[in-house]
Chains A and B, each alone.
Chain A
């Protein structure tokens, strides 16, 4: 790229040719210069009016005030948005709390069930043997065909 640029610069015409084109084009450029000068002179021939730079100063001050106002608005918006940001955070923590609580509850239930299982699987003392036999009779067994105490008698239903 640099080589290409250097090659381009080497092919540039001499300064005299470039700075003052000759012929019709040169004359056209001089006419252009004359036209621009004439157009500008129409406005600048009058003396500089009193307080000429005041307008620029006013614009500058207005721009500064606008900038201050813009920054103030931005700051107020940020401050106004802070409570919303604050509110948004607890929702996230609450949901995580719920999940944690659910996990704890599930753990508790499992432990309780295990405890119940252990208690149930314990051997029944001999003094409670008749009750155990009664419970066996009451519990419905899919394989058993014997009627339980709570089951309605088919004979009565049929009658």
Chain B
């Protein structure tokens, strides 16, 4: 990675930047899994998530001199990723005739993910089924609700960090989170009850 950045990207012009060239390798190494995970969960497509992760870090690299350290690096990168997601969803709406989600993510590829605390095969199946229902409910949330939900319950970010990343007030974030939780709970439980009957 160190060779990749130092040989492929142009040299730093400003000596007094917050992110030094050598540090950017470390930034990519540390934050790439997190950004990829968030993008994959937001778009539900592995290939697109990988593409947008690359775009995210390229944008971050090009705009690194604008980063003044007022927010954490994670928040800043998440904000860039959020903008990319918004742009991608907008362009996907415009190109509705194209076949999308060829590499769509089924979050619970049965057999690939096994819950940690499951003791019996029945428990495994039950928990996988519950996770699948919650995931389907999350996919149907509005974009803002889904973003807030994922940042909180997948990325475990604090409300203030979510507010900073999304540019919303903390109270707005709370409202979205509350609504998202209620919808997911209702949909997931409603589906479970329906299947039991």
Residues of B within 8 A of A157 (CB): none
Please report the total number of B residues contacting A with Cβ < 8 Å: 49
Given the contacts A37-B37, A56-B55, A21 and B131 also touching, CB distance less than 8 Å: no
Residues of B within 8 A of A44 (CB): 32-33, 36-37
> Are A28 and B131 touching (Cβ within 8 A)?
yes
> Are B9 and A53 touching (Cβ within 8 A)?
yes
C-alpha gap A48/B4 in the complex (Å): 9
The number of residue pairs between A and B whose CB atoms lie closer than 8 Å in the complex comes to: 119
Residues of B within 8 A of A35 (CB): 107-108, 113, 131, 135
What residues make up the interface of B, taking CB atoms closer than 8 Å to A?
Answer: 1, 3-5, 8-9, 28-29, 32-33, 36-37, 40-41, 46, 50-51, 54-55, 57-58, 61, 105, 107-109, 112-113, 115-116, 127, 130-131, 134-135, 138, 152-154, 156, 159, 171, 174-175, 177-178, 181, 185, 188
> Are B1 and A52 touching (Cβ within 8 A)?
yes
Task: Write the nearest CB–CB distance from B30 to chain A, whole angstroms.
Answer: 11
Residues of A within 8 A of B116 (CB): 34
Residues of A within 8 A of B3 (CB): 50
Residues of A within 8 A of B37 (CB): 36-37, 40, 44
